[in-house]
Amino acid sequence: QVQLQQWGAGLLKPSETLSLTCAVYGGSFSGYYWSWIRQPPGKGLEWIGEIDHSGSTNYNPSLKSRITTSVDVSRNQFSLKLTSVTAADTAVYYCARRPSYENSHKFDYWGQGTLVTVPS
């Protein structure tokens, strides 16, 4: 059974860097894009970006300048850094798995979510 477990700081000050890590238990680490998705309080889902086991990335154009993602294949972990946070970055951040095979696009496993708050 695949499980994604995430962690990171929940309270940041404006201009600080958000840092989250997600560990993958069960299943293979290759053959997937490892994704980050966020949800501001009371609002919808926003795709942030993704990385595969080789380090190939895709990012949301609106966030691209502030995002860095990385993978640690030896630990089956992947991470997100978002720089220069503001109150607008306050959200629940989810990690998720997306199979990378052609003609498919689905987030089939999700982490539990981490609330990150940036006071205004």
Partner 1 sequence: QSALTQPASVSGSPGQSITISCTGTSSDLGSYNVVSWYQQHPGKAPKLMIYEGSKRPSGVSDRFSGSQSGNTASLTISGLQAEDEADYYCCSYAGSSTSFGGGTKLTVL
Per CB under 8 A, residues contacting partner 1 are: 35, 37, 44-47, 50, 58, 60-62, 94, 103-108, 110-113
Strand, coil or helix: 63: coil
Tokens 């989810």 found at = 94
Residue with Cβ nearer partner 1 (17 or 112): 112
Strand, coil or helix: 43: coil
CB of 13 to partner 1, least distance (A): 26
CB of 16 to partner 1, least distance (A): 25
Please choose, from the candidates 97, 101, 105, the residue with its C-alpha nearest in 3D space to the C-alpha of residue 35: 97
CB of 58 to partner 1, least distance (A): 5
Q: For the chain, how long is the longest CA-to-CA vector?
A: 42
